[in-house]
Amino acid sequence: MSMVLAEDRDCLKAIALMGGIREPVFISSQTLAEVLETSPQTASRRLKSLEGQRFISRAINPDGQHITVTKEGEDELRREYAEYCRLFSHEGGHYSLPGIVISGLGEGRYYMSLEPYKKQFLRHLGFEPYPGTLNLRLSGADIPTRKKLDALTWVVVHGFSAEGRTFGEVRCLPCRINDIPCGIVVPGRSHYPEDIVEVIAPVGLRDALGVKEGDKAVIEVAYD
């Protein structure tokens, strides 16, 4: 479940319904307060909170403000939408993606130890990742299944700057291996080999699954 406060999300949804997705909509605090059935003070507090979470951006004038739901805000609404789809649609299924455990360049441990990434994964996946990524190599026959995953709803983990460096955006798809909640992670910009999948989890998967180099593990991805 999303970690956003329900009142904030209601406010975000109200702005989106007034036409604020990806383009500015003019809204007075009075109007917003009426729509949300609350006081203008409370409405303005919610806007501050949404702005702080980067779900909206705004240009404030004396008579009101132009508010835009950002890409992050839209993603948040889509997450809730996906939850309702899971509740009310019965067309869901799942993909199974088997792969062979291999070693990478040992960079996963470093990236997964960075606080801004850790925080966002916690927020989106509900766990703080074990420092590292488990790399799986797919067989050629399973690459079409891997490609189908691109059409599902991925979480976007934002990049950041620290110590004079920039760290890129990462996309993440919730999944499971056996019964362990995991996430497939794909770095935003770099071109990525299509037969490699990197997985994060709350635990060390080699130990938890009892797998070593060359052993098989199966990623399960549920979809609506």
Q: Which residues contribute to the site for ligand CDP (CB under 6 A)?
A: 103-109, 130, 132-135, 200-201, 204-206
Q: At 35, is the secondary structure helix, strand, or coil?
A: helix
CB of 202 to ligand CDP, least distance (A): 8
Chain-centroid distance, C-alpha 223: 15
Q: Which residues of 161-193 are buried (b: 16+ CB within 10 A; e: fewer)?
A: eeeeeebeebebbbbbbeeeebbbbbbeeeeee
Structure tokens at 106: 């040992």
CB of 125 to ligand CDP, least distance (A): 12
Q: Which is nearer to ligand CDP, 20 or 183 (CB)?
A: 183
Q: Which residues of 32-48 are buried (b: 16+ CB within 10 A; e: fewer)?
A: bbebbebeeebbeebbe
CB of 161 to ligand CDP, least distance (A): 22
Q: Which is nearer to ligand CDP, 77 or 157 (CB)?
A: 157
Q: Which is nearer to ligand CDP, 24 or 131 (CB)?
A: 131
Question: Are the beta carbons of 175 and 195 closer than 8 angstroms?
Answer: no
Give the C-alpha distances (Å, rounded to integers) separating 158 from 54, 103, 105, 108, 161. Answer: 11, 26, 23, 17, 10
- Closest residue to bound ligand CDP by CB: 108
Q: 217 forms bridges with which residues in the sheet?
A: 99
Q: Which of these, 1, 172, 180, lies nearest to 82 by C-alpha position?
A: 1
CB of 181 to ligand CDP, least distance (A): 11
Q: Which is nearer to ligand CDP, 172 or 205 (CB)?
A: 205
CB of 87 to ligand CDP, least distance (A): 30
Q: Which is nearer to ligand CDP, 81 or 110 (CB)?
A: 110
CB of 203 to ligand CDP, least distance (A): 6
Q: Which is nearer to ligand CDP, 49 or 135 (CB)?
A: 135
Structure tokens at 222: 């549920």
Q: 50 forms bridges with which residues in the sheet?
A: none
Q: Which is nearer to ligand CDP, 40 or 116 (CB)?
A: 116
CB of 155 to ligand CDP, least distance (A): 17
Which runs of E-coded beta strand occur in 30-69?
56-61, 64-69
